[in-house]
Amino acid sequence: MTSVSFISNILGPRVSSNDLLGRRMHFVIPTIMLSLARLALIISVFLPYWHMTLEAPQYPNGLELTAYVNHLEGDVREIDGLNHYIGMRKLNDAASLERALGVWMVIAMVVLIEMAGLVHTKWALLLVIPALLFPVGFLVDLQFWLYSHGHNLDPAAPLSSSVKPFVPPALGVGTIGQFRTIASAEAGWYFACVSSLFVAAALFFHRRAFKPLFDKMQIAKAGG
């Protein structure tokens, strides 16, 4: 197989003017869906992805923590102060690499979605898998770090002996000793979900539009 043939099998058939006759929307809809997916993903960067309220006897109004893809906001210092007594690591020690790369990862997914629009074969799926799985991956990674922080307590901490290893839930209500956590996904995460749904829809319409052209191209190659 020549390099040109290999690239052709990856990129797939190009759409001719004859293909567009009476079927223009078949080819336009996947592009629109992918454009909306990119837009939703970009918007998500500027919005919070996750929020937690920590209720503690010392703070009757509760403490608030909000996570974006690249930073934390809220009562970080106060929560770290409470966590210090039970030997829990500082909040900013968790997912530091993910936050450092967060915006760049989103940009990379946006570029991959853009590239997927140029690929008219099943290989487009490989380019959009990160965007498809990103919302779930965010929660899984978050839960991993919550587990890690709750199971790696400093035994030298003043109150370490009074608290057993625990797992704060990434979503919902959790209880740790006298503390209560209420965690929820926020607008940024939901925009990432919307992006994922647009990508899934784009794949459906992508297959409907380009598979017949790809099959025709393969038949022509076999006959030629």
**pLDDT tens string 129-175:** 999 999 999 999 999 999 999 888 888 888 777 778 888 899 999 98
pLDDT at 186: 98
Dihedrals φ, ψ of 223, to 5°? -80, -25
Burial of 113 (C-beta count, 10 Å sphere; 0-12/13-18/19+): buried
The tokens describing 166, both together, are: 């625990």
Residue with tokens 């839930």: 169
- Cα distance between residue 26 and residue 101, in whole Å: 36
Kindly give the parts of the chain with pLDDT less than 50: 1, 4
- CA end-to-end distance (rounded Å), the chain: 14
Whether this model's pTM surpasses 0.85? yes
Could you tell me the two tokens for 172? 């919902």
User: Which candidate, 157, 122, 139, 151, places its Cα nearest to that of 196?
Assistant: 139
The residues with which 67 forms a beta bridge, in sequence order, are 50, 72
CA gap 166, 171 in Å, rounded = 15
